[in-house]
Amino acid sequence: MSQTNPSKRFAEFFAGIGLVHEALKGSGWDCVYANDIDPKKEAMYKGHFGPSPYFYLEDVWQTEQIVEEIKESVFLATASFPCTDLSLAGNWEGFEGDHSSTYFGFIRVLQSLGGHKPKIVMLENVTGFLTSKGGEDFARAVSALAAEGYWIDCIVLDAKSFVPQSRPRVFVIGFHESLQSERIIRQVKNGWFGDGWQAAIDSADSLRPDSLLRLMAKTELSTGWATLTLHPPKQTKYSLASFIDTDDDQLWWDKAANDKHYAMLSDLHRKEVENRCKAGGLHVGTVYRRCRYNKMRAEVRFDNVAGCLRTPRGGSARQIVMIIDDARVRFRWMSPREYARLQGSPDFTLAKNTTQSLFGFGDGVCVPVIRWLDQNILTPVYEDEMTSTGHIDCAKIQGRNGASSVPKRNVGAIKEAEGLTQQITQRVDATQ
């Protein structure tokens, strides 16, 4: 493990069980502030990292308190804000919903940090973030970040490039306008000369689906878009079978549960299982139960990649393992340790309670994906900044002037979020 540089500090908002921290700690990032509102996540976080006095069980809307608690300026702030309202599970409420609108609680903290804003901000969310309200929520989110002085990049990475789990996620990176790193290529608006930004975007086209590029093109930012020269991650070679325990000691289901799930396979999937039985040998698949045309189905995949891990709300959100071992078909629930492996953190400390662990990992980030972002974006920009400025502002924040301008939480946090998003939308509309 590399040495922790005293100024390579970060704050982790919506920390969950700390998988962002887990990814960053190996390259010397020092977490000086973390928050989450869920005591069970806090327990898992502390169960793994040990006593963590910098972890606060608090609502992100507690702006004044949070600014007091971030005692030293941080180079990086990460925010994996809740995705609930950016998917079917939250009825696509988007930023009108109670959960995902907590993003604006994070923005309010940034505003309140005044001249001590982090140099880099990294957001993470599901791909529904790009489609929520026809892209309006994404535009609101990045415009709010730009209004705080950040140049913005956005990429989509799928965990399956690193581990056998399908988990595409959107990452928004905000580079503060004060950064001097020449590595950051800023978009030239209406420039005479070839736009280096466009060339860098074009040369890494697998990082940004067309839908994202269209969204970026129509979202005018008060700062602008920026990027680095990025080379998409190389596909890691792996076998799902080595992430899944296939021995007899596992909690394989009894005959009744086995038969029930076998009967839930569609004709197509049953045929696939039969063919694999005939072929012999070991086959590892993963299964989700889904309601199709009012019928509960067990949908199996054998493409060497597990389905996206989710929080086990309701009977169909927990992943099932199916193995075919020389024509013998067995099912069982996927275990917390397997969830940990598929999130790229095989040795993470589990909670005693299985559901608690599954919730923690189901909500979390995939560790090697964050490591890739660190190695390719966060640490290089940090190191450039150290070199170009000769130092990093290590000023103690406590007692500085900016803290007194913390806006008060008034009628209610959500109302305020809606007000803020409205202002931002008006600003976006005015620029179009």
Ligand X SMILES: C[S@@+](CC[C@H](N)C(=O)[O-])C[C@H]1O[C@@H](n2cnc3c(N)ncnc32)[C@H](O)[C@@H]1O
> For binding to ligand X (CB under 6 A), which residues are involved?
14-20, 35-38, 41, 59-60, 80, 82-83, 102, 363-365
Tokens of 269: 């999937």
The least CB distance from residue 353 to ligand X, in Å, is 16
The least CB distance from residue 83 to ligand X, in Å, is 6
Tokens of 294: 């009012």
The least CB distance from residue 124 to ligand X, in Å, is 7
Residue 82 or residue 97: which is nearer to ligand X going by CB? 82
Residue 98 or residue 245: which is nearer to ligand X going by CB? 98
Residue 101 or residue 187: which is nearer to ligand X going by CB? 101
Amino acid symbol at 422: Q
Looking at the DSSP assignment, which residues form a beta bridge with residue 153? 173
Angstrom distance (rounded) from CA 123 to CA 86? 14
Nearest residue relative to ligand X (C-beta): 16
Residue 106 or residue 151: which is nearer to ligand X going by CB? 106
Angstrom distance (rounded) from CA 186 to CA 180? 11
The least CB distance from residue 350 to ligand X, in Å, is 14
Q: Is 186 in contact with 197 (CB distance < 8 Å)?
A: yes
The least CB distance from residue 311 to ligand X, in Å, is 9
Angstrom distance (rounded) from CA 243 to CA 344? 10
Alpha-carbon 342 to chain mean position? 15
Nearest to 287 by CA among 311, 264, 268: 264
Residue 48 or residue 269: which is nearer to ligand X going by CB? 48
Angstrom distance (rounded) from CA 118 to CA 172? 14
Angstrom distance (rounded) from CA 299 to CA 287? 5
The least CB distance from residue 79 to ligand X, in Å, is 9
